Structure 1
Amino acid sequence: MTLDCAWLRDTLAYDCCPVKTVKTVKTVNGEPALEIGTPFSFADGTAIVFYLIEQGAHLLISDNGDTLFHLNSVGLDPFNKRRESAIRNTLLPFGVSLESSGEIRSLAPTERAQHAVAICISSVLAVAEQERGWLGVPEVVNNFSDEVEHDLRLWKPRQQPVRYPKIKGISKHEYTFDFMLAGELVDVISPSHQATGGLMRKLGDVLSAPGERPKIRVVIDDRDDFERAETEKQIIGSMASAMLFSSLKKVAGQATIH
């Protein structure tokens, strides 16, 4: 077997990048690996990725420590004893291990690669779901995103919003936004201190990256708590264009009149 992107796409149907050709990305142990891009992300839009390392007749599947790094970046200390224990308990049913390096990994025979990668993805998605609980991100955010998309289409009918655009920050971590509309990245959030804190770290990383500075807009849900949403808007507005959902609905309504 040749562990390359062609094999990966044929076997797993995921996007792929050979890490050894990307000088800024290395596994925690410095091993040559294939980076798997998945369509999944954490609560703040950070992409969930995995790395495949060939070890004889087996494949080592690793998150390269990215999951714990992400949790730490949004203010959730993963090495707090209670939280680390909770993470280990979340991973336990999937049969994957959490190493002392902070790496989530699994070793599987090459012929079981498809199943093993699916299990590893499921394990990190379980941690991502736990993260949402720790951050207090409600399930209604997903429905809110659909409502925002509807109003974006009304606001700028000649432009089609693109779902889940990705962009890398100065840390080389890849982030996912909810939409791209007319050259502007758009994220939607609920009005909470935790959600804003995670978003500000994400914005800081993305806006500090070299190259042309991206345009970013954040839509804040103000349906249940206008005062809290207005407060979060002022904070987010220091780094990106911020608007309340009620304001978006207003401009969307005006667009349909003209």
Structure 2
Amino acid sequence: MNGQGPHIGSERDLFTAVYAGDEDAVVRLLRLGVSPEAVDEDGQSALYAAAVGDAPGVVRLLLAAGAAPDRLSAGSDLPLCGAACGGHAEVVRALLASGAVPDAVEAFGFTALAWALRCGHAAVTEALLAAGADPNRPGPTGEPPLVTAARRGSPACVQSLLAHGAGSREEALTEARRWSRLDVASELRAGLERAHGFGGEYVMRRWADGVAVELVRDGEVVAGVDQGTGHAEIVEVLEGVLGGR
């Protein structure tokens, strides 16, 4: 007996342990026979839940027990993409080390690199490129990665892409120059207004290399967006690469 009476261990128990980041419980449940490929009532896989929850230890346990790194969660979401979107570099490295395909495509044409660049996650970007992700593979809208990184305002992402041979440098320079002349916070607010209509309070937060704007209605955050502000630095980098043009 394991002290739980007739209840030995279930997939629901595994998800509880995953969300809690309880590695000991995950090990116990896997040893009791709970599948590392377990899914919840919505079809979400345990591996995906651990990846988006930034639980690298749990991710490694599930992978070691046989979870497939590239299995789609709920039929559409890749663990690698979920981790990349969240900026969870250690999880990304664990998945890649277990055979996750760097350029695997999930729903709507997203790859992990496309998510990392959209969100400005430099450590994830470098890990993916080092593992063989294509620095020139267009994103879901057909945009070159370097242009995406330039718009995001992430000099570190731009530097990583350049180091791995990314092209479309003139286009990226044009995009960086355009954004260097804009007030990023105002542009983000205008985007929220277009998407969610007018009305409500806009709250802005700035930090050393970025800005975030949130739309608040009735005391609740309805939507938010953030962006880097390193466009001027990116212009200098790309002008240097292109010979000052």
TM superposition score normalised by structure 2? 0.29
Larger radius of gyration: 2
**Higher normalized contact order (CA 8 Å, seq sep 6+, divided by chain length):** 1
TM superposition score normalised by structure 1? 0.28
